[in-house]
């Protein structure tokens, strides 16, 4: 249901007239603040506003006016999407759902006063706070690299200008040049993401610069959909991709952004482009709220509430939830469970048992799509995997094309689920 301004104000009036849950009567409209307008936060804000029909006051704090999805950003690198295809605004959430969209950084959480402070000054009160800030990088994770070097050696693990920069660097590579990737250790956002990226970089280089080479230094002995990617690289990009795993020193890496060199297990190589994807941790605001343990925020699987504070919920990449991968699909799925639970807690509406699902599609070459996915349930310990599926090596071209087309439908669906 779309909530326009009239129904929104009307619903608020109903609450004020006393036809709503007792908690609403006692305190006026309960307030939910959501920090982060990405896959988790935008979905949670939209579902709470939509389903509460104005009974809950929803504020979304997000610094960017345009959200570029990381999902499909690799397809932009490969020339399958335009940057404008992966850009989304918050206008519909404000206009049609009555969400108070504040373009600012949250810089602190006072859990006693129940307020979130903003970089621009002032603070926003909450009854329930949902944190979905995504990831930040672990300082010193790759020797020689920090965020001050991201212009020379982009991470492109937050989409937008970083993704554009990486693409410009790939297109400017000299003939026969070298693209290097420093892959991250587990856990990180989008397990197949680096390897889909390798495929998409190989795709553009094969067309524009076929003697170019790709080196991947990886601290892991294996990776998501490994057999599928390696089969695809051999089929489409023979001899182009050199993956150096943990066994061959792929984790023993340093970089020199000024000299544009990468040293892998003692061997220095001059490169033309270096995509450094460092180890990750929960977005800093989660740590500032005091709900992290180590790098991530432990949550209760039934509703995504923080194990440290029942009035704070942590969604998506920042959460430590159990078996789900750090993906946009996962964040969106968790957000719907959380929205239902928050609405129930604030208005007494029915709360349904938590169910979660995820699929991660990856494009290897034109019309050659593969996928891995699973369903999950909430247990007292964690979000636990129930069953799963994965594409097989040697599948026929029609099935691979259908898998890619399925991913296009998924993208249209999830972005409208997030932004209305
Ligand atoms: C290359 C790549 C490819 C990917 N492909 C896929 C894919 O095909 N399918 C898939 O499902 N997932 C994919 N992902 C993963 C997916 O993008 C993330 O898992 C998902 O975006 C996580 O959602 P989130 O809500 O946790 O964080 P995000 O979507 O990153 O949203 C976080 C938001 O919080 C905001 N924020 C951060 N700190 C603050 C603060 N202090 N105050 C206010 N706002 C703040 C940020 O500006 C950001 O908009 C991919 C990721 C990458 C990098």
The residue assigned the tokens 């942590």 is 314
The per-residue pLDDT of the chain, averaged, comes to 94
**Residue-by-residue DSSP string for 108-176:** EEETTTTEEEETTS-EEE-SEEEE---EEEPTTSSBT--GGGTTTS----S-SHHHHHHHHHHHTPPTT
Residue 49 in 3-state DSSP?
Answer: helix
**CA angle in degrees (0–180, nearest 5) for 332-189-160:** 85
Q: How far is CA 267 from CA 93, 183, 198, 272, 278, in A?
A: 51, 17, 21, 16, 20
Q: What is the pLDDT of residue 173?
A: 98
- Proportion of the chain above pLDDT 90, given as a percent: 93
At residue 27 the predicted structure's pLDDT band, cuts being 50, 70 and 90, is low
Closest by CA position to 216, among listed 234, 204, 202, 206: 202
Confidence (pLDDT) at 9: 33
Residue nearest to ligand 1 atom 29, measured at CA: 38
Give pLDDT, residue 16: 33
Mind listing the pLDDT tens digit for each residue in 128-148?
999 999 999 999 999 999 999
166, burial (CB in 10 Å: exposed 0-12, middle 13-18, buried 19+): buried
Q: What integer pLDDT is reported at residue 102 of this predicted model?
A: 98
Average pLDDT value for residue range 17-28:
44
- Pairwise CA distance, residues 383 & 325, whole Å: 11
Contacts of 375 (CB under 8 A, 6+ apart): 355, 356, 357, 385, 386, 387, 388
Judge whether residue 91 has pLDDT over 90: yes
Q: What is the pLDDT of residue 10?
A: 33
3-state SS class at 334: helix
**Over 80: is that where the pLDDT of 107 sits?**
yes
What was the pLDDT predicted at 11?
34
Q: Hey, which of 105, 285, 328, 372 would you mutate to test ligand 1's pocket, going by the most ligand atoms within 8 Å of its Cβ?
A: 328
The yes-or-no verdict on residue 121 having pLDDT over 60 is: yes
**Is residue 15 scored above 70 in pLDDT?**
no
- pLDDT in the model for residue 153: 98
Secondary structure of residue 41 in the 3-state scheme: helix
Q: Please give the residue that has the higher pLDDT: either 235 or 25.
A: 235
pLDDT score at 143: 98
Whole-model pTM?
0.94
Lowest mean pLDDT among 5-14, 243-252, 410-419: 5-14
> Ligand 1 pocket check: which of 73, 89, 165, 317 to mutate, most ligand atoms within 8 Å of Cβ?
317
pLDDT at 367 over 90: yes
Q: What is the pLDDT of residues 148-199, one digit of tens each?
A: 999 999 999 999 999 999 999 999 999 999 999 999 999 999 999 999 999 9
d(CA 259, CA 392) in angstroms, rounded, equals 42
Pocket-forming residues, ligand 1, beta carbon under 6 Å: 35-41, 61-64, 67, 70-71, 73-74, 105-106, 132-134, 157, 189-190, 193, 197, 283, 285, 315-318, 326-329, 331, 360-361
Q: What is the pLDDT of residue 3?
A: 39
8 pLDDT exceeds 80?
no
Q: Which two tokens stand for residue 118?
A: 């903003």
């Amino acid at each position: 249901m779309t909530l326009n301004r009239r129904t929104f104000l009307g619903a608020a009036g109903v609450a004020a007239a006393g036809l709503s849950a007792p908690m609403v009567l006692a305190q006026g409209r309960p307030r939910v603040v959501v920090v982060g307008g990405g896959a988790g936060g935008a979905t949670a804000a939209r579902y709470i506003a939509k389903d509460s029909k104005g009974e809950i006051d929803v504020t979304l704090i997000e610094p960017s006016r345009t959200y570029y999805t990381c999902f499909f950003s690799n397809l932009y690198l490969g020339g399958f999407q335009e940057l404008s295809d992966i850009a989304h605004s918050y206008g519909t959430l404000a206009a049609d759902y009555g969400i108070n969209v504040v373009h600012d950084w949250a810089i602190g959480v006072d859990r006693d006063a129940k307020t979130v402070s903003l970089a621009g000054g002032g603070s926003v009160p909450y009854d329930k706070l949902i944190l979905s800030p995504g990831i930040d990088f672990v300082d010193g994770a790759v020797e020689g690299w920090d965020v001050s070097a991201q212009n020379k050696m982009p991470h492109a693990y937050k989409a937008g200008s970083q993704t554009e920069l990486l693409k410009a660097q790939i297109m400017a590579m000299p003939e026969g040049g070298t693209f290097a990737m420093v892959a991250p250790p587990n856990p990180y956002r989008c397990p197949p993401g680096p390897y889909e990226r390798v495929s998409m970089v190989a795709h553009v280089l094969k067309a524009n610069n076929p003697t170019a080479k790709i080196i991947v230094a990886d601290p892991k002995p294996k990776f998501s959909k490994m057999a599928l990617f390696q089969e695809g690289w051999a089929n489409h990009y023979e001899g182009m991709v050199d993956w150096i795993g943990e066994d061959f020193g792929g984790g023993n890496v340093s970089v020199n952004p000024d000299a544009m060199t990468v040293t892998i297990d003692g061997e220095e190589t001059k490169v033309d482009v270096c995509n450094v994807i460092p180890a990750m941790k929960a977005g800093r605001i989660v740590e500032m709220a005091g709900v992290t343990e180590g790098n991530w925020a432990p949550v209760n699987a039934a509703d995504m509430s923080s194990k440290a504070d029942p009035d704070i919920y942590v969604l998506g990449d920042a959460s430590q939830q159990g078996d789900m991968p750090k993906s946009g699909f996962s964040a969106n799925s968790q957000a719907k469970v959380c929205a239902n639970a928050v609405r129930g807690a604030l208005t007494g509406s029915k709360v349904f048992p938590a169910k979660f699902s995820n699929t991660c599609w990856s494009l290897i070459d034109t019309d050659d799509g593969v996928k891995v996915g699973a369903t999950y349930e909430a247990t007292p310990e964690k979000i636990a995997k129930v069953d799963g599926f994965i594409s097989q090596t040697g599948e026929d071209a029609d099935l691979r094309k259908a898998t890619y087309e399925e991913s296009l439908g998924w993208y249209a669906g999830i972005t409208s689920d997030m932004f209305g």
